[in-house]
Amino acid sequence: MQPCSSSFARTSLCGLVLLASCQWAHAQLTAIVAVEPTARKAAHSILRSAMESGLSKAASQNAVVTTSEDLADVMRTTRSAGYDVFIGPAQVAASALQRGYELVGSTDKSEQYLLVGTPQVPSVGAMKDRRLYLPQQDSIYTYMARGMLNEAGLSFKDLKTVQHEKFPQAGLTAVMLGSADATVVRADEWAEWSATHPGGARVLATSMPVPGGFTVVVKKDLPAETRARLAQWFGSASQQAGLAPVSQRPQAQEYQRVAELGLFTPSGLPGVQRITAKEAQKLQGQGAVIVDTRTEKEFKTRRIKGALWAAYVEKSLKDVAFNAAQDDFTALDKLTQAPPAKPVIFACNGAECWKSYKAAKVAAGKGYKTVYWLRGGLPEWAADGLPTEGE
């Protein structure tokens, strides 16, 4: 390109090039540190101000870092690409990697998880109608528990109770005291505990390797040079901010297995017809109402064109046997444009989002005559090039 001259045309052209090249530099880099329940000690060593300073220098732009222990909320932001950088446990990275992010690496080597039960429980299959102790339902421990139960042909619905608490280490104590029949622990936790409590519990199943510590992923649509500098910073200089160097490069299939273990909805829903995005668009043209069950922020940011908003506020298990009484779907009663006699299509953020699954089941139970479920949700709709709207 020729140097800019004083002529108006060349000045304008150079100005446009400069604007285009500098547009990203004026943007704000956003990052979130997602804290696994058992990683609070490691997370407390992270200095947010130092990380903001380090990322700002690495990316040559202002960086803002957020921390959160609400894994359910963090998982929602991975589905809506809410941050440029995610720093968190394997399940957070696994979700983001399916939505336009690339792997930088992890801080710790991969590790295995164990389903541990009382001596009276001979196998995983024998967990039917028994009690399981787990941390919050979006923790990596819960993901592993679901996977190991599924391999034995069991679901959380087959258990007597699934007790979710804040501290996974207390699960072994619960098993020893008899207030729970099984729990999930890391292999190193089990090695330490079993050495001081011989015969107190037994290993029922062992998971496949899972990326350990914090995993870092960045948006693919960041400039290549920015991504390279961020990767270099996380690999060497992040220790100054209290985050161990991202020195491990787990295999992609390890994250894929985690994603499949955690949140995938069933492929079908009895009493409700599952449809594709193109089928949903055709039905919408025939008068069916598409109901978006995501959060208001997600709905306003981007949505299926013409969709109505009715948030499904879930607190129940992400399981086919969820307890709808624990959730809040009063928004459905306020949807005057979607009365029970009118066909309705429920959608959210794809196969990993349970809100539309639960909403469709609740609506069918409330007397809605014709209920459809768009399992692929907004991601499938957008991937098919169908019209969207929003901010």
In whole angstroms, give the CA distance from residue 334 to residue 319. Answer: 26
Q: 38: pLDDT confidence band, cut at 50, 70 and 90?
A: low
- Candidates 3.40.50.1980, 3.20.20.450, 3.40.250.10, 3.30.160.160; CATH matching 273-389: 3.40.250.10
The confidence score (pLDDT) of residue 42 equals 62
Residue 84 in tokens? 């440029």
Q: Which fold has domain 8-108+212-262?
A: D-Maltodextrin-Binding Protein; domain 2 (3.40.190)
Q: State yes or no: pLDDT of 108 exceeds 60.
A: yes
Q: 246: pLDDT confidence band, cut at 50, 70 and 90?
A: very high
Mean pLDDT of 13-31: 57
**What value does the CA radius of gyration of the chain take, rounded to a whole number of Å?**
24
Of 87-91, 194-198, 258-262, 315-319, the range with the lowest mean pLDDT is: 258-262
User: Is it true that 113-206 and 273-389 share their CATH fold?
Assistant: no
pTM: 0.63
- Candidates 3.30.450.40, 3.40.190.10, 3.40.50.2300, 3.40.30.10; CATH matching 113-206: 3.40.190.10
Q: 23: pLDDT confidence band, cut at 50, 70 and 90?
A: very low
Count of C-beta atoms within a 10 Å radius of residue 341: 9
Look at strands 29-34 and 85-88 and give their pairing. Answer: parallel
In whole angstroms, give the CA distance from residue 205 to residue 189. Answer: 15
In whole angstroms, give the CA distance from residue 147 to residue 261. Answer: 5
Mean pLDDT of 243-254: 93
Domain limits, the chain: 8-108+212-262, 113-206, 273-389
The amino acid that residue 259 corresponds to is A
Question: Helix, strand, or coil here: 94?
Answer: helix
**Any idea what DSSP says for residue 222?**
S
The confidence score (pLDDT) of residue 11 equals 42
